[in-house]
Amino acid sequence: MGREIDLLQQLSVLSVVELQKVNWCLSQKVLQDFPPIPPDWLGSSKASHTVKTKVRCYQEEGAKKILTEILRLMKPHSYECRFHIVAPPINSQAPKADFDPDFVRTHRRELISRMQCPIDVLNVLKYRQILNAANKEVISIFAGLKNKNRALVDLVLSMGEEAQNIFCQALSQSEPFLFHDLDHHPISDKVSSLITIAVVVSQSYK
């Protein structure tokens, strides 16, 4: 029980977004002999839920070990309090992959409000000769991160499927947590689920 309290204290200082990053790591293969936890088991944004799930899956000693490793990976120099993700350098020469062609359009609002590193994506688009120096200069004129994001996203949307595919590739490397979150929780699925629930509820009252 003491170990569980220690784990809860470590997670309690994290923001909701930071806790989501921890949960995402728990759903991946982080350590040998520690199987990933199914994402559905980690759906809650409460630290207490994450702790109970980890202890149930790995026991107290294992839960402490994997949390220590996750926090070390997220911020190698210090993990006592808050941390941030340092994204690996983007491989501009990576082979093109096929992403959902509607990803950028579907998640336009979230991309505008949540992207933190538009310059990284912009540099890849310029390297791939999708955008040019003039495009980059125009985007840099906008004040504020959201305005820059809006200019970049709308420009990419106007340039067609290849530009959007490379945008997705760059985003998946520069901001993997954001890309994973949007890619696995599409708006259309949420809307569809809400519509289904509404229909079931309405029919139950007939």
User: Residue 158: what pLDDT?
Assistant: 94
Residue carrying structure tokens 């990803």: 103
Could you give the domains of the chain? 2-74 (1.10.533), 103-189 (1.10.533.10)
User: CA nearest 165: which of 87, 117, 102, 92?
Assistant: 102
User: Residue 196: what pLDDT?
Assistant: 38
Say if residue 142 is exposed, middle or buried (CB neighbours under 10 Å; 0-12, 13-18, 19+): middle
User: Residue 152: what pLDDT?
Assistant: 95
Q: Which amino acid is at 92?
A: S
Helix (H, G, I), strand (E, B) or coil at 109: helix
CA dihedral sign, ordered 121, 123, 128, 130? positive
Query: CB–CB of 51/7 below 8 Å?
Result: yes
Consecutive 10-residue averages of pLDDT for the chain (206 residues): 78 80 81 82 79 87 87 56 38 60 93 87 90 89 90 94 92 81 58 37 42
User: Residue 178: what pLDDT?
Assistant: 80
Query: CB–CB of 170/121 below 8 Å?
Result: yes
